[in-house]
Amino acid sequence: MAKEYKCKVCGKAFVKTFSSTQKVCSPECAIKLARDNVQKAQERAEKKRQRERKAKLKSRSEWLKEAQSVFNKFIRLRDKNEPCISCGRYHQGQYHAGHYRSVGRVLN
């Protein structure tokens, strides 16, 4: 007597008749299994596309870093011929938008 296997779709017991890799009991179950496999593959592909799109987006820290850079550039241009807001001296060369309050000290 041949070994009985359980159908992957309907759960009924069956004896493999077509091949040793047979997973379903009938052609109807085979069609349903194929459709389910196609649907699962499409869902996996959609999840992969969503993960890739999400990875391309900037994180909060990246947005904050960019905003800080643009803001500092604006302050440098605004205060170009003014003394330092922190110590009152005129700085020659680099000017880093004041040193009264550092970026790292800010609590978000």
pLDDT score of 97: 62
- Answer yes or no: are the C-beta atoms of 32 and 40 closer than 8 Å: no
Amino acid at 54: K
Cα four-point dihedral sign 40, 45, 50, 52: positive
60 C-beta neighbours (distance < 10 Å), count: 8
- Whether this prediction's pTM lies above 0.85 is answered by no
**Consecutive sets of 10 residues in the chain, 108 residues long: mean pLDDT of each?**
89 88 92 97 98 92 91 85 77 66 68
- Answer yes or no: are the C-beta atoms of 75 and 98 closer than 8 Å: yes
Measured distance CA(25)–CA(13) in Å, rounded: 8
